[in-house]
Structure 1
Amino acid sequence: MIDDIQFGKLMIVSDLHGNGFDFRQILKVYHALKSEGKADYLVFLGDLIHAYPGKQKDESLEIVKNLIDWKTNQKASDIICLLGNHEFVHIYHIALQRGNLEFTSWFENRIRKNRETIVRFFMDMPFMLRTKGGVLINHTGSSDRYEHCSETDFNWLKEYAHKGQFDAHIRTIQSYHPSIGSQFMDTKEGNYLWDVFMNGNERQYGEKYLDMIDDLLRFATIDREQYPMTVLVSGHVGVDYGAETIGDYKLRLCSSAGCLRDLEKKFLLIDAEKKYSNSVELLECCHDLF
């Protein structure tokens, strides 16, 4: 699921993790920018859900319901939301845990009455967004899965719709069954997508991660060599001061969870038609959310 956007100015934000206060601030800023002709689309980089205990009230479900009501990711909408790893696990009934903290069951308890609606919304979220100018936007960043990819691999990922040979997650979509997550992880498809969505970037791969960024940019260019991907924007990993460059060709953005304080939270404002040559140029397009 790879989408393209040809025109317009994009306000990009990341990793809300159920923070309703930041969500409302994002909407306030976006509507102000749009009224001034400075933004045309609002892009969420995924991980809308799963608040960390003690940080703030968990408004994950309320945020998702609002985005569904506003027809996010539909053709007429000016709101785009990419799939993050925290949404991904609910599609496939995967119990996501970090230390003693288990994320999945809490949110699953809240969506029992309307699980199918919520999960189908997650299933419609693109994996990546490509601008005409060559900016590749996703949630997690790169991984070690893109180095030797063929056109067949690219087409599979571009058209992926969560409905392959493995379909247990669809047949049981109205209720949560962790055993299905275990079954999915034992498939080639599940193993691949886990690496794509759940890896730790340079914290996991070390200096090799910089080469993986190049691999992903080449991978995402396979069907559009006249408009090559030149830079990557992602979230996924916290940034104390809201944005940072990872090598020459990746910007990591943090708009909510993962920043030191509210005044460090950032959003990115770019033009879909403009070419950005490196991560420093993107860093200069970051602005304070508060």
Structure 2
Amino acid sequence: MPELPEVETIRRTLNQLVVGKTIDRVKVLLPRIIQRPEDVEEFCFLLAGQTMRSVERRGKFLRFVMDDYTLVSHLRMEGRYGLYDRNDPLELHTHVVFSFTDGSELRYKDVRQFGTMHLFPKGQEFEENPLKKLGIEPLAEAFTLEAFRAKLAGRSTKIKPLLLNQEYIVGIGNIYVDESLFVAGIHPEREARSLTRKETAALHSAIVSTLQDAVRAGGSSIKSYVNGQGEIGMFQHQLKMYGRKAESCYNCDHPIEKTVLAGRGTHYCPKCQPMKRKRAKKVKGALRP
């Protein structure tokens, strides 16, 4: 599934490809992709004549902002957008086609057919699902260390499931949670409330730097991800933890282990990311490690 860096890369690419183009007509070949409105014909009617003003991102969702409406799109497992000439043959698994007045087409393909599209009057998309309950953006100015500490405070939830919960922090995803926890030296099964102030600061910094590095590399092409121009990401070549089960840790050479946590494959180094934090003990007025 595309995570924040991949969706951000797609957003930037689509801004170059479709902004300023006006929709002539829309063709929906798989109606269940359209979640709002319920009437697919209404979806097509409302979009005709709308000009693409910008492509934005909220978590893992793309927002196509137009004159009067905003289209909220989630790619799910394998959804992808591409710009074509209207005379190009329609490829297999193409489900929605946005034909522009200049003769080009933005086509949405989805092999797994899990993607969704919601159309809202512009601005209303933040007041209803799927965007309404989303948490803080990890690459936004609002994602301060203080805000992050507040998200973890008092939470008995294990740190990895909490970071994957989109109502707390959006877009990090499985790959980048594993990478961030490794950089911060934190075991994925630690309770969120057990993190010290120093560990919380380290994790906050690791999340931001990992995501920024991934965006600069165009995301990670683990399976089928490509951007809107068909280009793969390159961050998979920088992964230190995810997908490296039984390989040697780059820090200590200990074999990387894998478990399942919150239904997701989880990679960690038991030596660099110890489960239990060592605490100093008082003995006759002195501190003993």
Report the TM-score, using the length of structure 2 for normalisation. Answer: 0.30
Structure showing the higher helix proportion among its residues:
1
Q: Which has more radius of gyration? A: 2
- Between Structure 1 and Structure 2, which shows a larger proportion of strand residues? 2
Higher relative contact order by CA 8 Å / sep ≥ 6: 1 or 2?
1
